Amino acid sequence: MLNSSMMPETVGAQRRDTKIDQTALLQELMTEGHNEASLGLDTKSALEIARIINHEDAKIAAAVKKAIPEIAQVIDLVARNLRDGGRLIYVGAGSSGRIAALDSTECPPTYSTIPGQVQYIIAGGPKALASAVEVNEDSEELGQRDIARRRPTRKDVVIGVSASGRTPYVVAATAYARARGAKTAAVTCNLDTPLIAAADIAIIAEVGPEVIAGSTRMKGGTAQKMILNMITTGALTRMGYVYDNLMVNLHMQNTKLVERGIRILMTACGIDRQTAVDTIKSAGRSVPVALVMLKAKVEKPEAVRRLAHADGNVRLAVEDSGTGL
């Protein structure tokens, strides 16, 4: 914060110094470095370019692997807070924000999460999903304003997503949420950055310089997508929205998903197609209810009761003996 007693000239000088410091920081980031493996890329054939990119992409999984302990921490944190009625809120800008939006919007059709349970905030708002509004990512004020509108509390988990780890919008939003009691995490590709300092848990995937210097939609973006997939998949699996490795909590809203629901029942219960179709119909087109009916050999009302008692955890509902209720 700037001191209001400063003379205009002093304020201007401080702002210029801040900008210089930010530029210096940017130049030091590994994600902004030059990649020796792709030198002379503009002179290469299409086959050579594809091979270079593929060679660099092969490093991503290893970088993410090093962050698995921290990813696991965040998985358990998200599962616990969602179970307690909290929310997962991603905050990002540019490519990072779009990746966060993709992960959050896939949760309702895949796991039937309730509206608002997994959310995203992107610098520039929804229009930034389809077109570049990158200027907004430099605004700390907008980051604070946008997260403040969501009223973060101690029940929520806010995850700042930024390959550079220095995006002012994301850093400010994450710091604001933490100050309001929310648990926070950082997903980044650089060490020792402001976003790491602003968060409770840091997930760092050091993927190294990009094939195109600074184009973090490439290795950085791929690493971020892998990590966010792990977080939501892991958390919602821990909550029981997956049975074995089957997507049992899906919404059957189109032909493909109806067919998937039928096949899930056939696989999980070892039944023929017609039995699966009939059971889904009698279960009100709910795969979890149908699965509990078949596995526990109960009627629909009992299956619904068991799922409610188990907070939607399908395995716990199947194993529910009904004692103590």
Active site residues: 106, 137
For residue 308, give every residue at least 6 positions away whose Cβ sits within 8 Å of its Cβ, in sequence order, or none.
none
**Residue by residue, what is the 3-state secondary structure of the chain?**
CCCCCCCHHHHHHHHHHHHHHHHHHHHHCHHHCCCHHHCCHHHCCHHHHHHHHHHHHCCHHHHHHCCHHHHHHHHHHHHHHHHCCCCEEEEECHHHHHHHHHHHHHHHHHHCCCCCCEEEEECCCHHHHCCCCHHHHHCHHHHHHHHHCCCCCCCCEEEEECCCCCCHHHHHHHHHHHHCCCEEEEEECCCCCHHHHHCCEEEECCCCCCCCCCCCCCHHHHHHHHHHHHHHHHHHHHCCCCECCECCCCCCCCHHHHHHHHHHHHHHHCCCHHHHHHHHHHCCCCHHHHHHHHHHCCCHHHHHHHHHHCCCCHHHHHHCCCCCC
Task: List the strands of the sheet with 157-161, edge to edge.
Answer: 118-122, 88-92, 157-161, 183-188, 201-204
Q: Which residues pair with 183 in a beta bridge?
A: 157
Q: Which residues pair with 119 in a beta bridge?
A: 89
